[in-house]
């Protein structure tokens, strides 16, 4: 088990304002804001979304798999396996994040455990491995991000080892309690300590880009609009004020 500190009550809930901002902004904008802060690897690479039209927002509940070693199945498997403890212990608004070493040719979770996550109030599931029962999972009203579909159970490749530890999922370091945001493009991990400022600045960035795309659609050059120059800022501020009055 990890020495990473955890709280018995879980991570601090997101403020209403931060959650509303995260609902509005894209994973592309959040990833850009993190890159501006020097944090480059936050977008889960190569994963597909089960519900591209749905937004996913929640704190990371982590689960780590290690390579299969058959003599350890009696020790690490069964009713008290890390996988089952993660699913039975997930809390409302948590996202189950599974480290499966990017292995595509075995499942990491199936439809019954995904349904259990939904019933416990989870916000979603992210796995850098495969899904089993993929058509059934896609019919469940819970966003799931995964690399592949594979009918074999996890024991073809994996042993569940740990929960609530730092994991490496699809090239991203995820700490328990980090904020996971997903949309049709994919999912991104936002460090919990930065989420309020990242959400605030992402909201501003998308507002500026809405102004830019309106002007570019009208035939203007991108120069001075993307990025927004000091010379165009007064025009943007007037545009924003007009839109706020309308809305």
The residue extents of the domains of the chain are 40-190, 198-246
So what's the pLDDT on residue 200?
Answer: 98
Q: How far apart are CA 85 and CA 30, in angstroms?
A: 31
Are the C-beta atoms of 142 and 122 separated by less than 8 Å? yes
Q: What is the pLDDT of residue 12?
A: 86
Give bridge partners of residue 11 from the DSSP assignment.
Answer: none
Residues of the chain with pLDDT under 50: 1-8
Instruction: For residues 118 and 93, give the distance between their C-alpha atoms in angstroms, rounded to a whole number.
Output: 10
Tens of pLDDT, residues 105-130: 999 999 999 999 999 999 999 999 99
What is the SS3 assignment for 119? helix
The pTM (predicted TM-score) of the whole model is 0.94
Q: Please determine, looking at this structure, whether the domain spanning 40-190 carries the CATH number 3.50.30.40.
A: yes
């Amino acid at each position: 088990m990890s020495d990473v500190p955890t709280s018995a009550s879980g991570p601090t809930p997101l403020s209403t304002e931060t959650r509303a901002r995260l609902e509005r902004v894209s994973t592309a904008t959040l990833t850009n804001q993190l890159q501006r802060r020097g944090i480059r690897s936050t977008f889960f690479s190569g994963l597909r979304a089960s519900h591209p039209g749905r937004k996913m927002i929640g704190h990371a509940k982590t689960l780590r798999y290690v390579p299969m070693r058959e003599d350890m199945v009696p020790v690490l498997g069964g009713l008290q396996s890390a996988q089952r403890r993660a699913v039975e212990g997930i809390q409302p608004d948590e996202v189950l994040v599974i480290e499966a070493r990017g292995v595509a040719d075995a499942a990491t979770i199936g439809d019954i455990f995904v349904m259990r996550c939904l019933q416990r109030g989870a916000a979603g599931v992210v796995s850098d491995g495969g899904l089993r029962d993929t058509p059934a999972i896609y019919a469940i009203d819970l966003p799931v991000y995964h690399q592949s579909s594979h009918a074999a159970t996890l024991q073809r490749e994996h042993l569940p080892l740990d929960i609530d530890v730092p994991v490496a999922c699809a090239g991203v370091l995820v700490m328990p309690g980090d904020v996971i945001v997903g949309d049709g493009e994919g999912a991104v991990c936002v460090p919990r300590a930065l989420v309020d400022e990242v959400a605030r600045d992402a909201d501003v960035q998308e507002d500026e880009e809405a102004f830019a795309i309106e002007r570019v659609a009208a035939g203007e050059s991108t120069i001075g609009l993307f990025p927004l120059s000091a010379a165009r800022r007064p025009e943007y501020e007037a545009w924003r004020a007009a839109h706020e009055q309308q809305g």
